[in-house]
């Protein structure tokens, strides 16, 4: 049996984890020399490739000098921190990537804290060393300070450091020497073999396997990925599914057993202690469950993840266009799909609402829930969602809300506007420092203050601000936060949008719809320039009796509509509005479509 190393690659978003894994594949000979490789091969999900971020943790394995190295590529975005927490259960050490220019960022702090809580050893790679303006010595000092701040022990503070570029495929202990690039990534792999602890490989004991990640295959059914903690996991074995918080412990059979080799799952007869295994066909298996010998039931501690901070209500679409574009439209379809999502992602939680056709979904952030919404619409689901709201909890009679640490990189000339904006949203500035030609600002801010902030900061900085944030703590309510500063333009009837009508209404605000689009009464068609909502007729046609204006329609010049992305739609909607989601369209609408009934409801609320 080969010696084993288990390592998780962790970093802040866009610090180069997935690109480094690509280069490790090439160095270890996982791919043939002439094999065509796409960039960021581990980002196999369509949304991951489009967004340029890792959403789902991925497993892979490479062989180097006779040692099997299991690698977990983890997400860097704070909204997908639940993936990081689970996958650390499979690792004995972490490789912390830090950008040689940006240094430690909010998510760096988050993943490092989680690793230290599990007692994992950390290896550090200062990545992107070829980046203009790199400041490796200062970044190393900042990393050391972060280790101290997070309470690292003496042994953890003696972390090994290597420098390099994942994109160009090289690493070196001293990046200033002329031959630093000559050995490629071999120095990094050698450091992993030397510094990552060897897992305990106790084989002559009853088997223990804990599932950290779930997947699903059309032919294999439910797939569990996790670590064999003890003993030997064999195909065909009959084992008990155990969990410390559950009484029922069904006996199941391991129908299919796999191990990672490169990116592929290769069928095997047995997986030994210390290695990562893939079991398939056990429908009773959930994240955190332990497969035990029926006569030695010893469930491992449950995998704990931080609780959600944002919730959103998913409901059946009841607009006039309901059922026209989606394949799955009923509450049964919706509930089944959301239950499946919560099963695969323990950071998602479901709760019933007072309405039978509506389900509350709790997650880590707007992007976390937005990715779920986008996945569902691509699969043919049609539904509506309400405004994302922050979850509050009560401790000792005090109402607490989640606060985040937010980091903003912005041009210096926009720093004042950014500080003023986040100050209005109850943000407390913690630090301000130059970062090359940028200014780096750090705030502690309520999570609800960040809803819609990304788009606003881009506007304030002419598209140059970069926002990153991570959960900090639960604190007392920070008070009222201004949200949308103006009302919306609402269609007062159904029909196709007419250029002639839009031309006469352009001074009322910014439109979200183009000529020819079908609208219905109560559909939000734009943002009002003033406070309050404004019903208007975007379907009005020109009276043909006006002969003097004949031919004038040809000269209509319309401003292009503002097309909102899914996240922008979720950040834009207010309490009395919904986002209608279909495979083909995203439509903003009022909850109550009829204008007269909306006015009656407003009067009732005011009284």
> How high is the pLDDT of residue 548?
54
Evaluate whether 591 touches 605 at the Cβ level (below 8 Å).
Answer: no
Residues with Cβ < 8 Å from 538, sequence gap 6 or more?
A: 491, 497, 498, 501, 502, 505, 511, 513, 519, 525
Token output for 524 = 């939000």
Residues with Cβ < 8 Å from 23, sequence gap 6 or more?
A: 166, 167, 168, 169, 184, 185
> How high is the pLDDT of residue 345?
76
Report the DSSP beta bridge partners of residue 239: 252
3-class DSSP state for residue 524?
A: strand
> How high is the pLDDT of residue 42?
41
Among residues 540, 541, 528, 530, the alpha carbon closest in space to that of 492 is found at 540
Report the DSSP beta bridge partners of residue 310: 363, 390
Report the DSSP beta bridge partners of residue 440: 409, 433
The model carries a pTM of: 0.75
> How high is the pLDDT of residue 40?
41
Report the DSSP beta bridge partners of residue 562: none
> How high is the pLDDT of residue 138?
92
DSSP characters for 252-287? EE--EEEEEEBTEEEE-SEEETTSEEEEES-TT--T
> How high is the pLDDT of residue 140?
92
Buried-state track 419-447, b at ≥16 Cβ within 10 A, e below 16: bebbeebbbebeeeeeeeebbbbbbbbbb
CB atoms near residue 80 (< 10 Å): 25
Token output for 140 = 């190393």
Report the DSSP beta bridge partners of residue 6: 70
Among residues 331, 319, 308, the alpha carbon closest in space to that of 390 is found at 308
> How high is the pLDDT of residue 28?
64
Polymer length in residues for the chain? 607
Among residues 37, 34, 11, the alpha carbon closest in space to that of 22 is found at 37
What domains can you pick out in the chain, each with its CATH number?
Answer: 4-195 (3.40.50.300), 208-292 (2.40.30.10), 393-476 (3.30.70.240)
For 456-533, list the strands marked E by DSSP. Answer: 466-476, 488-491, 495-496, 509-511, 518-519, 524-528
Report the DSSP beta bridge partners of residue 287: none
Q: What is the mean pLDDT of each run of 10 residues along the chain (607 residues)?
A: 84 70 70 40 43 52 86 61 70 89 80 83 90 88 89 85 87 86 87 88 85 77 86 89 83 88 84 89 84 88 79 94 92 92 82 90 86 90 93 89 88 92 91 85 90 82 81 87 82 92 90 93 92 90 64 69 88 90 94 88 75
Evaluate whether 127 touches 164 at the Cβ level (below 8 Å).
Answer: yes
| CA atoms of 264 and 260, how far apart (whole Å) | 6
| CA atoms of 1 and 272, how far apart (whole Å) | 8
Residues with Cβ < 8 Å from 423, sequence gap 6 or more?
A: 429
> How high is the pLDDT of residue 466?
80
| CA atoms of 296 and 242, how far apart (whole Å) | 11
| CA atoms of 121 and 150, how far apart (whole Å) | 14
């Amino acid at each position: 049996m080969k010696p084993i190393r288990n390592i998780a690659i962790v970093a802040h978003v866009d610090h180069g984890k997935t690109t480094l894994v690509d280069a490790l594949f090439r160095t270890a000979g996982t791919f043939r020399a002439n094999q065509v490789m796409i960039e960021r091969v581990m980002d196999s999900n369509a949304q991951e490739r489009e967004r340029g971020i890792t959403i789902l943790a991925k497993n892979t394995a490479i062989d180097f000098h006779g040692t099997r190295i299991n690698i977990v590529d983890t997400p860097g975005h704070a909204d997908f921190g639940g993936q990081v927490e689970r996958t650390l259960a499979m690792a004995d050490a972490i490789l912390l990537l830090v950008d040689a220019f940006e240094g430690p960022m909010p998510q760096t702090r988050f993943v490092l804290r989680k690793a230290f809580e599990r007692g994992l050893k950390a290896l550090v790679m200062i990545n992107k060393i070829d980046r203009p303006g790199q400041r490796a010595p200062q970044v190393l000092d900042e990393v050391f300070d972060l280790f101290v701040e997070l309470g690292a022990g003496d042994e953890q503070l003696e972390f090994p450091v290597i420098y390099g570029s994942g994109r160009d495929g090289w690493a070196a202990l001293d990046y200033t020497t002329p031959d630093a690039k000559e050995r490629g990534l071999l120095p990094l792999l050698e450091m992993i073999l030397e510094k990552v602890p060897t897992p305990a490989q106790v084989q002559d004991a009853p088997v223990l396997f804990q599932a950290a990640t779930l997947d699903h295959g059309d032919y294999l059914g439910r797939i569990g990925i996790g670590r064999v903690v003890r003993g030997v996991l064999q195909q065909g074995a009959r084992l008990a599914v155990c969990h410390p918080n559950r009484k029922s412990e069904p006996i199941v059979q391991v129908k299919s057993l796999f191990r990672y080799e490169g990116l592929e799952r290769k069928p095997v007869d047995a997986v030994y202690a210390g290695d990562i295994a893939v079991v398939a066909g056990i429908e009773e298996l959930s994240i955190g469950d332990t497969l035990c010998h029926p006569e030695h039931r010893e469930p491992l501690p449950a995998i704990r993840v931080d609780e959600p901070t944002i919730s959103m209500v998913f409901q059946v679409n009841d607009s006039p266009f309901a059922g026209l574009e989606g394949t799955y439209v009923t509450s049964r379809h919706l509930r089944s799909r959301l239950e499946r999502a919560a099963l695969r992602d323990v950071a998602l939680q479901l709760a019933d609402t007072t309405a039978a056709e509506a389900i509350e979904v709790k997650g880590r952030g707007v992007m976390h829930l937005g990715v779920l919404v986008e996945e569902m619409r691509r699969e043919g689901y049609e539904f509506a969602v309400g405004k994302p709201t922050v979850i509050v909890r009560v401790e000792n009679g005090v109402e607490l809300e989640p606060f985040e640490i937010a980091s903003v990189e912005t041009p210096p000339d926009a720093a004042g506007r950014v500080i003023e904006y986040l100050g209005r949203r109850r943000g407390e500035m913690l630090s301000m420092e130059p970062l090359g030609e940028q200014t780096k600002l750090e705030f502690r801010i309520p999570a609800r203050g960040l809803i819609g902030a990304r788009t606003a900061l881009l506007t304030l900085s002419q598209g140059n601000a970069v926002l990153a944030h991570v959960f900090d703590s639960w604190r007392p309510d920070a008070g009222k936060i201004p949200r949308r500063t103006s009302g919306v333009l609402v269609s007062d009837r159904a029909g196709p949008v007419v250029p002639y009508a839009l031309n006469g209404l352009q001074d009322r605000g910014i439109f979200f719809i183009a000529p020819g689009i079908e609208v219905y009464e109560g559909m939000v068609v734009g943002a009002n320039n003033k406070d309050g909502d404004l019903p208007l007729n975007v379907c009005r046609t020109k009276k043909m009796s006006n002969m003097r204006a004949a031919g004038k329609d040809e000269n209509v010049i319309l401003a292009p509509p503002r097309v909102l992305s899914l996240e922008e739609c979720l950040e834009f909607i207010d309490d009395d509005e919904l986002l209608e989601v279909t495979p083909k369209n995203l439509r903003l609408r009022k909850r109550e479509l009829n204008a007269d009934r909306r006015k009656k409801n407003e009067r009732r609320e005011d009284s």
